[in-house]
Amino acid sequence: NAGVTQTPKFQVLKTGQSMTLQCAQDMNHEYMSWYRQDPGMGLRLIHYSVGAGITDQGEVPNGYNVSRSTTEDFPLRLLSAAPSQTSVYFCASSYSLWETNTGELFFGEGSRLTVL
């Protein structure tokens, strides 16, 4: 079982370029989210989705865009990359917000992005 799959694992961009980080899960989870991890700051929530067609902003949404056209996929778009977006990005999923849930987030292995 694949779980949460993120691609690419590594990416180098130049300032101003755009790109999409892909995230797919095969557990039929309704809830999906993107976090960024920076040294000494833990993980910070960028965007999240509680189901197909529904997205919302997290703590640090500026410069990022998301959409959720299917249950399985939740891509994160960087519209115009900036050096401040150099980070490790994690996609995470879980069962529905409104069910009696375990609250456990299942994480992908991360995507390391460097913006020059």
Partner 1 sequence: AQSVTQPDIHITVSEGASLELRCNYSYGATPYLFWYVQSPGQGLQLLLKYFSGDTLVQGIKGFEAEFKRSQSSFNLRKPSVHWSDAAEYFCAVGGNGYGNKLVFGAGTILRVKS
* Interaction residues for partner 1, span 34-93 (CB under 8 A): 35, 40-45, 48, 50, 58, 90, 92
Neighbour tally for 21: CB within 10 Å: 23
Spatial separation of the C-alpha atoms in residues 2 and 82, rounded to whole Å: 31
Give CA separation, 90 vs 6, 98, 100, 112, in Å: 8, 23, 24, 9
* Interaction residues for partner 1, span 14-43 (CB under 8 A): 31, 33, 35, 40-43
Instruction: Please report whether residue 107 would count as binding partner 1 according to CB under 8 A.
Output: yes
User: Can you give the binding site for partner 1, defined by CB under 8 A?
Assistant: 4, 31, 33, 35, 40-45, 48, 50, 58, 90, 92, 94, 97, 101-105, 107-110
